[in-house]
Amino acid sequence: MTTPAKADVSEETVGILEALSRGDPDLMATGLELRANWEAKSGLDSRAYALVKIAALIALDAPPASYVWQVGTALAEGATPEDIVGVLIAIAPQVGGPKLVAAAPEIMVALGLTLPDGF
C-alpha cells in the first residue's frame, strides 16, 4: 500500500487523535490514572514495575521518547542506572543483540549521557 487509506473517522476519534498529537494534559492525566490502576493490580512495587516496563520497551523496539519517560520514572521510583543495565543483561537472551544495541543509546540519552563518537 503506497497511499494512505481514506477511512470514515468519527469526529470523536479525530478529536482524541488530535489531543494525543498535542500531548493534551487532560488526556495524559487519564492515561496516568490508568497506569496507576494497572500498577496496583500487578502486585509489583513501583521500582520493579518501572523496570519491567523498560524491558517491554526494549522488546518492542519502542520510540526514543518512550525511553526518556520510562527511564525517568524508574529513577524516580528508586531504580539505579545499574538496575537498568541489569534489565538489558537479563532480557538479552530473549530479545537478541540487535534490540539491545538499538536500546542502549536510547537509555544513555534518557540517563543524560553523551553518546560515543560515531552516533
Q: If 0-12 CB within 10 Å is exposed, 13-18 middle and 19+ buried, where does residue 74 land?
A: buried
Q: Global pTM?
A: 0.72
Residue 104 CA to residue 84 CA, distance in Å, equals 10
**pLDDT on residue 15:** 84
Contacts of 80-88 with C-beta under 8 Å, sequence gap 24+, read 81/111, 83/47, 83/51, 84/51, 84/54, 84/111, 87/51, 87/54, 87/55, 87/58, 88/58
What pLDDT is attached to residue 100?
Answer: 93
Q: Please give the pLDDT value at position 25.
A: 74
As a dihedral over the C-alpha atoms of residue 90, residue 104, residue 37, residue 14, rounded to 10 degrees, the angle is -140
pLDDT at 41: 83
Q: What is the pLDDT of residues 24-57, one digit of tens each?
A: 777 767 666 677 777 888 889 999 999 999 999 9
pLDDT tens for 58-115 read: 999 999 889 998 999 999 999 999 999 999 999 999 999 999 999 999 999 999 999 9
Q: Give the integer Cα–Cα distance in Å for 119 and 114.
A: 10
Q: What is the pLDDT of residue 12?
A: 87
Return the half-sphere exposure (C-beta side, CA atoms, 13 A cut-off) of residue 20. Answer: 7
